Amino acid sequence: MTKHTPEDELRKLNRLVAETLGYSVRSYKNGPVTQFQLIPPEGRLLKRHVISAYDEEYAWRNCPYFSTDIGAAITLVPESDKDHRFWLKRLHHVWSATIEDYSLSPDDCYFNEDGATPAEAIVRAWLAWKGVEGQGDG
């Protein structure tokens, strides 16, 4: 039986975000070996950014670390305007992120999630806002 670690959970969150944003993994033959590359949403890679892996799961590990890197996580936050608001606060030892989307019905416009770090809370709130299932337990 495989033991799942907190790092596995964060990798899963990173992959969910990357897939939602349009990242994909493509395989190619390198002689007798099949290798895999993570392809960004734009669909093209600069040669210096090519990272190859020998299995698909490892290729997904090359996606941005949205759940641990606040710089990557903050790129997910919608710009504040008349329809969107974002809140991040710390309550004791837990971070809480809220995305408000007033373009939705009043009953479905608040997406609040907690995380151990600001980045994790942002990622969980963003995934909830996008309607992505499978976040696991926070």
Using one digit for the tens of pLDDT, what is the confidence trace for 55-114?
888 889 888 999 999 999 999 998 888 889 999 999 889 999 999 999 998 888 999 999
Residue 18, helix vs strand vs coil: helix
Among 24, 17, 41, 19, CA closest to 125: 17
Distance CA 120, CA 114 (A): 8
**What global pTM score does this model have?**
0.84
Q: Where are the domains of the chain?
A: 6-60, 76-130
Q: Tens digit of pLDDT for each residue in 101-114?
A: 999 988 889 999 99
Distance CA 65, CA 51 (A): 15
Question: How far apart, in Å, do the first and last CA atoms of the chain sit?
Answer: 22
